[in-house]
């Protein structure tokens, strides 16, 4: 594993990935782990990880594009040299989101039966609007996912059910929800409820921050923070935890907030994890759900209420 990278190195690495993407179509994701103080260690490899799940994508390229590869490698060397000089002479500050504008709030107990959720045009969804992900549906008093689940090929299984609120939201956001869960602890199944912050959806593109809670209170439960970077399967883990205290039970109140660069997560009012990231400074709050290693149990863990605020 590489040594902790400065924000400028991560930004330049991300720029390089985007420049290489026409040459290497699968070179879109690499993992990153961070602690609450914002120090980050990333592994520049074609890997996506979620909880204890992992996939790898193979990178191939034709010889006709070799010159473009050389140019991109040269770009990386130059960028790293510039960054090295910059960090020797003084740090380059990352972008910071500023609070401003009026406070906005939205609260729902999911009173309607809808697939996908809309509530009068208040929500957009992963399949209807993002195409590559799945929608969130509701029955009276309950929201849950529509993902197929089961054992599917890598990348395809990361089509989390996603719904984001519409409209304009301030950068400092809080999302909280009450968990409704009837499933039993089962470490062979990965079922999650998720809160979204500073997120956006458009065809074949999903960005923003996800806070995921495993629907379990076993020793293998977790609460992780990830960043979605665009295409399906392109995302980065910012913080991982493991233990029964990080999972959720029926009736738990989960909350996530982002202020400036800091993401803070709570269960029943108790802070449990924190991470820092500088990339996305705007977007909308929302909810999501994930299911793997099982089918037909989407309605066994979801949300019975949701509130989002921003300023």
Residues 139 and 24 in one domain: no
CB 301 within 8 A of CB 180: yes
Closest to 81 measured CA to CA, from 32, 4, 12, 3:
12
Where does a domain end: 29, 55, 89? 89
Q: Which domain holds residue 40?
A: 7-89
**End-to-end CA, the chain:** 38
In eight-state DSSP terms, residue 247 is S
Is residue 13 within 8 Å of residue 50, measured between CB atoms? no
Dump the DSSP string for 277-306: --S----EEEEEEEEES-SS-GGGEEEEEE
- The angle, 0 to 180 degrees and rounded to 10, between the axes of the packed helices 66-89 and 7-20 is 170
* Same domain as 210, residue 64: no
Query: Alpha-carbon distance 292 to 290, whole Å?
Result: 7
pLDDT of residue 255: 99
245 and 286 inside one domain: yes
Tally of structural domains, the chain: 2
195 with 279, same domain: the answer is yes
Is residue 53 in a domain? Answer: yes
**What is the C-alpha R_g of the chain?**
19
pLDDT of the residue at 31? 37
- Beta carbons within 8 Å of 94's beta carbon, 6+ residues apart: 7, 8, 11, 261, 278
Q: Is the bond leading into 116 cis (omega within 30 degrees of zero)?
A: yes
- pLDDT tens digits for the chain (311 residues)? 223 333 333 444 444 444 444 444 444 333 334 444 443 333 333 334 444 444 333 333 333 333 333 344 444 444 444 333 333 333 333 333 333 458 999 999 999 999 999 999 999 999 999 999 999 999 999 999 999 999 999 889 999 999 999 999 999 999 999 999 999 888 999 999 999 999 999 999 999 999 999 999 999 999 999 999 999 999 999 999 999 999 999 999 999 999 999 999 999 999 999 999 999 999 999 999 999 999 999 999 999 999 999 99
Sequence-distant (6+) residues with CB within 8 A of 7 are: 92, 94, 278
Give kind and range of the element (H or E) at residue 253.
Answer: strand 253-259
Domain shared by 82 and 189, yes or no = no
Of 71, 85, 97, 96, the closest CA to residue 9 belongs to: 85
| 115 plus 78 within the same structural domain | no
| 3-state SS class at 7 | helix
Give the span between the Cα atoms of 80 and 88, in whole angstroms. 12
Task: Identify the CA nearest to 128 among candidates 142, 113, 118, 119.
Answer: 118
Structural domain contains residue 305 = yes
Model pLDDT for residues 48-67, shown as the tens digit of each residue: 444 444 433 333 333 333 33
Backbone angles phi, psi at 286, to 5 degrees: 180, -165
Query: Residues 11, 109: one domain?
Result: no
Q: Mention every residue, 6+ apart, whose C-beta is less than 8 A from residue 27.
A: 17, 20, 21, 46, 59
**Alpha-helix residue ranges (DSSP H) falling in 2-144:** 7-20, 66-89
Instruction: Please give the distance of CA 258 from its chain centroid, rounded to a whole number.
Output: 13
Record the pTM. Answer: 0.72
Are 47 and 112 in a shared domain?
no
């Amino acid at each position: 594993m590489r040594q902790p990278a400065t924000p400028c190195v991560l930004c330049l690495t991300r720029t390089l990935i985007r420049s290489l993407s026409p040459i290497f179509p699968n070179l879109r994701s690499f993992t990153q782990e961070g602690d609450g103080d914002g120090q980050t260690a990333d592994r520049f490899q074609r890997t996506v990880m979620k909880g204890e799940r992992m996939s790898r994508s193979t990178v191939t390229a034709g010889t006709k594009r070799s010159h473009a590869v050389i140019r991109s490698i040269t770009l990386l060397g130059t960028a790293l040299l510039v960054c090295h000089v910059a960090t020797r002479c003084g740090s380059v500050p990352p972008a910071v989101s500023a609070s401003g504008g009026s406070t906005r709030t939205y609260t729902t107990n999911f009173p309607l039966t809808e697939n996908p959720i809309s509530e009068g045009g208040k929500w957009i969804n992963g399949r209807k609007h993002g195409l590559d992900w799945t929608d969130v549906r509701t029955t009276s008093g309950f929201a849950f996912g529509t993902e197929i689940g089961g054992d599917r090929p890598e990348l395809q299984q990361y089509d989390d059910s996603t719904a984001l609120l519409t409209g304009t939201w301030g950068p400092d956001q809080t999302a909280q929800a009450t968990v409704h869960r009837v499933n039993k602890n089962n470490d062979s199944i990965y079922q999650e409820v998720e809160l979204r912050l500073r997120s956006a959806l458009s065809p074949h593109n999903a960005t923003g921050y996800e806070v995921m809670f495993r629907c379990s209170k076993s020793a293998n439960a977790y609460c992780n923070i990830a960043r979605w970077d665009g295409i399906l399967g392109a995302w980065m883990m910012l913080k991982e935890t493991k233990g029964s205290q990080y999972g959720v039970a029926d009736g738990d109140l989960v909350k996530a907030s982002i202020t400036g660069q800091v993401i803070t997560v709570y269960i029943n009012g108790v802070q449990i994890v924190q991470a820092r990231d500088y990339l996305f400074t705007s977007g909308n709050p929302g909810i999501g759900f994930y299911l793997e290693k099982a089918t037909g149990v989407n309605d066994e863990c979801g949300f019975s209420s949701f509130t989002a605020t921003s300023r």
